[in-house]
Amino acid sequence: MPTNTHPPGALTGYSHPKCYAHADGNCSKKISKEHFISASLLRQLGTNDTAKVAGLKWQQPETFKVLPIAGMASFILCERHNNALSPLDAGISKFAEAIENYDVALQAPLIGPDMEQRQFSGDDLERWMIKCLLGLTASNSLRSAQLKPACLDFLFASAPWAEGWGLYFAAVAGKPIHHSGSLMIETRVDPASGLILAADFVIRGLPFLLCLREPGVGSDVPPEAGQF
């Protein structure tokens, strides 16, 4: 079942100017810090509450910097919207943990036949990716890129996804997938409009593609990568 990301209770009628989700008029008065990459995921992939980061707007190309996870947050969501979206952060952390667990199990000596299934909401995974991109753009961490206004509707399930838009598993037949303990995001941006047309997410080595336009459109646009 998809997670309900609508703030609970009655509509507040208030739009906080610093909250990127203020268009619904359902903000709280207090702004809060939001990690543009989920803090729980960064802690899982990092070491000693730090993360090794590359590809952000203020960094030199192809250079890594070790940053405190607590500092990788900006005042871009009010408390009300931040709390409503927090289950998506918990979900991506569990998803990445499951990938790690299966990878370890596949490398371990087999004692006997075993099988395990874990279920995750593809809808929640899509919306976490939207949340991640919105956080990166709202915090001015990407180089000259923005998202279509419809992405906010997708994040809060206020509108259905357009035909062909959404999440795809991007594995290529015959090409091996190599495990990694990292997250990589590549955005494909229309140079004319500055809009993000698609984004590649590689989560612990598993490749996913989030299409924000018809599949194939903008596939020739060079990617801009960030790695965590």
- The two structure tokens encoding residue 137: 């753009």
**Which residue in 38, 97, 45, 44 sits closest to 72, CA to CA?**
38
Q: What is the reported pLDDT for 218?
A: 47
- In which domain, by residue range, is 186 found? 22-227
What does the alpha-carbon distance between residue 26 and residue 17 come to, in Å, rounded to a whole number?
12
pLDDT digits (tens, 9 = 90+) for 154-206: 999 888 888 889 999 988 888 888 888 899 999 998 888 889 999 999 999 99
Q: Given a cut of 60, is residue 217 above it in pLDDT? A: no
pLDDT above 70 coverage of the chain, percent: 89
What pLDDT score was predicted for residue 125? 96
Whole-prediction pTM = 0.89
Residue 12 lies in a domain: no
Q: Is residue 119 part of a domain?
A: yes
CA distances from 59 to 31, 51, 64, 66, 219 (A): 27, 14, 8, 12, 25
Looking at the structure of the chain, the number of domains it has is 1
Share of the chain above pLDDT 90, in %: 55
Residue 214's pLDDT is: 66
Q: Of 201, 196, 211, whose CA–CA distance to 148 is shortest?
A: 196
The pLDDT tens digits for 102-138 are 888 777 665 555 667 889 999 999 999 999 999 999 9
Q: Does a structural domain hold residue 6?
A: no
11 found inside a domain? no
Mean pLDDT, residues 7-22: 96
CA distances for 168 relative to 186, 190, 198, 217, angstroms = 14, 20, 11, 14
Its sign, for the CA torsion 76, 169, 108, 111, is: positive
Residue 216 reports pLDDT greater than 70: no
